[in-house]
Amino acid sequence: MGAKKSSSGLVTKLILSLTVALVTVLLTGDFFLSIKPLKELELKQIDEKFTARGAVPFKDSTPNVIILEVTRNTFKGMPEQYKKWPYPRDFFARVIRNLNNAGVKAIGIDFLMESSNIFSPEDDSSLINAILEKNNVVIAGKTFDENRSAGGNVRIEVENLTEDYGNFLFPVDSSIGIVQVIADNDGVHRRYYPFAYSETSKRSVPTFSFAIMNKMMGLPPLAMAELSEGYFKLGEKLIPRYDNVSMLVNLYGSSRTFPHVDFINVLDDSTFNTAEELEYETALNIWDDPASGLLHSGMFKDKIVLIGSTLEEDRDVIPVAFSTDERSGSNTIYGVEFHANVVQNIIEGNFISRFPVWLEIFLTVLFVLISFFLTSYLRDLKFRMNWIVEIGSVVLIFLMVLGIRELSSYIFIHQKLLFSYVGIDLNYSWLLLKYSLLFYSRKKTKNPDKGNVFAIC
């Protein structure tokens, strides 16, 4: 009779623990629903891992990407008639030619040029011809209008786009990349989409970094990353998928981790006069001075150059998963830097891979079973002061959770594997709730374990 009762109790505990495990998996697995607080907890765990890891070095000590930035200093250095935006397209043509003379592999222009003939047809032609000379330039495009709002986070499709994706240069050689990046629900940018779908043209087009890689690898301008089991495949590159539509960006560090060069320093060759040169009537020629010019430094040889703004008023500053400390704003970088991280990830093959979902589920279920049966076993031990055993159970499970957290951080830092333990945290919260209810019931009755489902498990 006693053996039968014991067997029945074991089955009950097993059913209850498996039920809790199933509920935990359903709540944390995004299979049928996404619970915002749990999803945000999972995202915060990613941020904690990046911050704990800190900045990482580039594979060959120097990055493959250089950022050519438009800054306040750029405006200050322009001749008086050009101290405003937009700059003549001829300025970009000059910079493209100078960079190509220095041996760059590809150039990305992270500025939308929606209208032609702002200055003159000749000005537009200058830039078009510079692009066609080497066919190694990617221009910026968009698929939705960020300046129009329908309330909340709803984006409105751009009705006036035809096939140019917001850039009059698209017909030149179709090398366009969508520069808009999508944040997670908490406003932080962690993921990167290989392509974006345009409702206007009814097709997907590469995002900016993937369009750059098309140039690097000699692929067609609008070549798309293919979907394979667990990966995006671009040429011979396999990029681990974080989910069905995106990769997790493996950030190298905070803002200015990549080399930055001022736009005007590449523009300032022997054929261009900066404001300072005009004022002092002295040629500086920062770009092509025979003794000290950037052209002769070799720093641009075989590099990818991304041209973008680092002016705060351009509002291209985005929060990311990496933070140097807990100060507000320490987790922000410029949009062009975010693209640079993705390009560098793909070139180096430096990716964060996600634990297989089935393995995360298995480990969560295993933890639930262990914690339930361990606490149940300790409760069955007869002690005069059972509350000591109960506290010990909570502490023991807490140490298990802490160990799993540390293990998760270790494999993230050293193996570049992301393991989500939200389900385990949720189970520990359930355990604390259970003991709180037991403590409350003990105050209400002299025989707390009788008929108490929490005491069974």
Hey, where are the domains in the chain?
A: 2-50+354-456, 57-349
Find the mean pLDDT for residues 282-309: 97
For 117, list phi and psi in degrees, rounded to 5.
60, 40
Among 74-83, 103-112, 156-165, 356-365, whose mean pLDDT is lowest?
156-165
What span, in angstroms and rounded, lies between the C-alpha atoms of 319 and 313?
16
DSSP code at position 88: P
Residue 196 has pLDDT above 60, yes or no: yes
| Structure confidence at residue 175 (pLDDT) | 94
Residue 178 has pLDDT above 90, yes or no: yes
Residue 431 has pLDDT above 90, yes or no: no
Residue 72's contacts (CB-CB under 8 Å, 6 or more residues apart) are 311
Neighbour count for residue 127 (Cβ, 10 Å): 25
Nearest to 184 by CA among 122, 121, 113, 242: 242
Among 39-43, 140-144, 380-384, whose mean pLDDT is lowest?
380-384
What span, in angstroms and rounded, lies between the C-alpha atoms of 74 and 71?
5
pTM: 0.86
Nearest to 404 by CA among 382, 389, 377, 423: 423
Rg (CA), the chain: 29
Find the mean pLDDT for residues 319-342: 88
* Strand 137-141 with 176-178, pairing: parallel
Residue 208 has pLDDT above 90, yes or no: yes
Among 170-179, 238-247, 383-392, whose mean pLDDT is lowest?
383-392
| Structure confidence at residue 161 (pLDDT) | 47
Residue 41 has pLDDT above 50, yes or no: yes
Residue 4 has pLDDT above 60, yes or no: no
| Cis bond before residue 86 (omega within 30° of 0) | yes
